[in-house]
């Protein structure tokens, strides 16, 4: 791996892993001079869960995209075979290349979606994703995982969405995996939101994940690895969380 924000190196390694694991990469559209791609892999076994994993919404959170490369290297065939898998490896390529949260137009690619968007409009990347809303909703029919980092944190946590007032097996399964890599934050607040056992539950905020959940996706999570910790460990944690997500939703 080169520098964590080396876009060329990332795209080369991702393409090689995707090819080796039998994924097909195709363009969804173009945003700020970069092609936003989706990689898909058909299930080899039935019944299969339709699962979508998306990374790289924020350019200064590189462990998500690199974690997807590691996931494609490490995930057992027996796990991948149970899912109709769709991956969006890097939403915000211009921000990633610059090591910067926002895109080249100063927009936040994880705001401006759905009913709770408030005054926010989708970013250039968001407009591409919204244009493919029905396809993405179908791809995430059994679950969605969005991969983020919190640069200020030493601890790991997740926003999770599933029916009911309290987090269920899906949320707990994911955070238990994250806790194998990093400490959980103390119960209290993060960014003004209540966090308990490392989980912020059913918070709808105009994000990509909130939008797809509003639209019917039954379970989703936005995982946050801690930017204050070692980068290699964050990458491994992201890859493990992707594997856990597939296992939890595909029943593997
Ligand atoms: Ni983020």
Distance from residue 248's CA to the centre of ligand 1 (Å) = 23
Spatial CB neighbours of 12, under 8 Å, sequence gap ≥ 6: none
* Edge-to-edge strand ranges of the sheet holding 83-88: 24-31, 34-41, 83-88, 49-55, 143-150, 220-226, 157-161, 199-201
- Distance between Cα 65 and ligand 1 center (Å): 12
pTM over 0.95: yes
Q: Could you tell me the distance, in angstroms and rounded to a whole number, from the CA of residue 58 to the centre of ligand 1?
A: 5
Q: What average pLDDT does the segment 13-30 reach?
A: 97
pLDDT for position 1: 45
* The two three-digit tokens of residue 142, written as one number: 């059994």
Cα–Cα distance for residue pair 42/237, rounded to 1 Å: 25
What is the maximum span of the chain, computed from C-alpha positions, in angstroms?
44
Q: How far is the CA of 216 from the centre of ligand 1 (A)?
A: 23
C-alpha span between 120 and 109 (Å, rounded)? 11
> Per-residue pLDDT tens for 208-242?
999 999 999 999 999 999 999 999 999 999 999 99
Residue 219 in tokens? 């379970």
Write down the residue that tokens 């990374």 correspond to: 55
The string of pLDDT tens digits covering residues 186-195 is 999 999 999 9
- Residue holding tokens 């056992």? 197
Mean pLDDT over residues 160-186, rounded? 97
As a whole number, mean pLDDT of residues 189-204 equals 96
Give 224 Cα–ligand 1 centroid separation in angstroms. Answer: 7
Distance 151 CA to ligand 1 centre (A): 9
Contact 52, 140 (CB under 8 A): yes
pLDDT at 252 over 80: no
Q: Is the pLDDT of residue 200 over 80?
A: yes
CA of 10 to the centre of ligand 1 (A): 18
Find the DSSP H helices in 21-147: 63-74, 77-80, 93-98, 124-131, 133-139
**Residue 79 CA to ligand 1 centre (angstroms):** 27
The tens digit of pLDDT for each residue in 106-154 reads 999 999 999 999 999 999 999 999 999 999 999 999 999 999 999 999 9
Cα–Cα distance measured from residue 1 to residue 13, given in angstroms and rounded to the nearest whole number: 8
pLDDT number for residue 182: 98
Identify which of 86, 54, 44 has the alpha carbon closest to the alpha carbon of residue 252. 44
Q: How far is CA 61 from CA 50, 66, 83, 231, in A?
A: 26, 10, 26, 10
Nearest to 246 by CA among 88, 161, 140: 140
pLDDT band at residue 83, thresholds of 50, 70 and 90? very high
Write down the pLDDT at residue 251. 84
| Averaged pLDDT of the chain | 96
Distance 113 CA to ligand 1 centre (A): 15
CB half-sphere exposure, 98, CA atoms < 13 A: 12
Q: Cα of 163 to ligand 1 centre, how many Å? A: 23
């Amino acid at each position: 791996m080169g520098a964590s924000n080396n876009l060329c190196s990332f795209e080369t390694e991702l393409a090689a892993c995707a090819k080796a694991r039998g994924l097909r990469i195709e363009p969804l559209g173009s945003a700020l001079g970069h092609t936003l791609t989706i990689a898909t892999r058909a299930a080899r076994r039935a019944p299969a869960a339709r699962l979508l994993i998306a990374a790289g919404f924020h350019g200064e959170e590189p462990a998500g995209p690199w974690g997807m490369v590691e996931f494609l290297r490490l995930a057992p065939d027996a796990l991948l075979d149970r899912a109709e898998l769709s991956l969006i490896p890097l939403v915000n390529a211009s921000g990633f290349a610059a090591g910067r949260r926002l895109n080249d137009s100063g927009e936040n690619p994880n705001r401006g979606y759905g009913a709770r968007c408030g005054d926010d409009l989708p970013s250039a990347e968001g407009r591409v994703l919204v244009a493919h809303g029905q396809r993405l909703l179908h791809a995430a029919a059994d679950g969605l995982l969005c991969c983020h980092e919190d640069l200020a944190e030493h601890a790991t946590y997740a926003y999770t969405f599933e029916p009911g007032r309290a987090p269920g097996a899906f949320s707990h399964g994911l955070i238990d995996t994250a806790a194998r890599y990093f400490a959980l934050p103390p119960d209290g607040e993060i960014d003004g939101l209540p966090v308990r056992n490392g989980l912020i539950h059913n918070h709808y905020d105009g994000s990509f994940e909130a939008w797809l959940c509003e639209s019917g996706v039954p379970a989703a999570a936005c995982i946050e690895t801690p930017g204050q910790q070692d980068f290699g460990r964050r990458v491994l944690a992201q890859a493990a969380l992707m594997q856990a997500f597939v296992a939890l939703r595909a029943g593997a």
